[in-house]
Amino acid sequence: ILCDANLPTAALERLVAQAGDRPVFAIAVSPAKVVRLAPLLGNLSLLFMNRREAAALAGADISGRDLVGELRRLSLTAGVITAGSAPVLGFDRSGVFAIDPPSPRRVADVTGAGDALTGATVAALLRGLPLRRALREGVAAAMLAIESAEAVPSFTAGSFGQALALVPEARVVA
């Protein structure tokens, strides 16, 4: 199940209660709305957010391992934190890591990059990939979205493979 923080907290709580054993992935949407997810953090399989949304959830303007530590203290076991063209920070039970996104070969439109990252990452996780590998696919999809002028970019397995080859392996964040 993939949801976002546009829903009221009561609706999100009901959704999580109805999910049963199915994984629940969430998108923060905005710093003002991410707090709707606060009571559910322990029930989420993965939360996608940008740095401002993560700081709003944590209640402090911190970054890196300190930010991850605070999110974990709030019961979030896995998350992805983006910051534009800066490294994408990921964390799960196996540790904290970063992926340096490659520079797009051309910038057509940044709209939808976060949704592409989320969708491709979740699809890869559902195929059984670990978060570190799944997030590489998400970064590749985000790059393809940025390079496309289409609202819903289309690409082939070949063009996706070429984009994925540009995404470096995840590195441990010390």
The predicted-structure confidence for 98-130, as pLDDT tens digits, reads as follows 999 999 888 898 888 999 999 999 999 999 999
Element (H, E) at 145: helix 131-147
Same domain, 71 and 97: no
* Average pLDDT over the chain, rounded to an integer: 95
Using a 10 angstrom Cβ sphere, with 0-12 exposed, 13-18 middle and 19 or more buried, the burial of residue 169 is exposed
- Residue 151 pLDDT greater than 80, yes or no: no
Mark whether 73 and 145 lie in a shared domain: no
Residue 143 lies in a domain: yes
Instruction: Give the residue numbers spanning the domain of 59.
Output: 1-83
Kindly state whether residues 4 and 79 are assigned to the same domain.
yes
Report d(CA 168, CA 170) in Å as an integer. Answer: 6
The separation between the first and the last C-alpha atoms of the chain, rounded to the nearest angstrom, is: 32
Of 24, 52, 83, which residue constitutes the final position of a domain? 83
Q: Are strands 88-92 and 79-82 parallel, antiparallel or unpaired?
A: antiparallel
Q: What is the count of structural domains for the chain?
A: 2
pTM of the predicted structure, to 2 decimals: 0.95
Q: Rounded mean pLDDT of 29-52? A: 97
Q: Which of 16, 50, 83 is the last residue of a domain?
A: 83
Residues 44 and 76 in one domain: yes
- 106 and 41 assigned to the same domain: no
pLDDT at residue 138 is higher than 90: yes
Give the pLDDT score at 17: 96
The CA distances from residue 46 to 105, 161, 166, 167, in Å, are: 29, 25, 25, 21
Examine residue 88 and state whether it is found in any structural domain, yes or no: no
- pLDDT tens-digit profile of 53-86? 999 999 998 889 999 999 999 999 999 999 989 9
Range name among 23-27, 32-36, 109-113, 125-129 with the lowest pLDDT average: 109-113
Q: Counting every residue, how long is the chain? A: 174
40 and 100 in a common domain: no
In this structure, are 74 and 121 located in the same domain?
no
Give the domain-ending residue among 36, 56, 83: 83
Task: Let me know whether 9 and 72 are in one domain.
Answer: yes
Do 119 and 42 fall into the same domain?
A: no
Q: Are residues 99 and 153 in the same domain?
A: yes
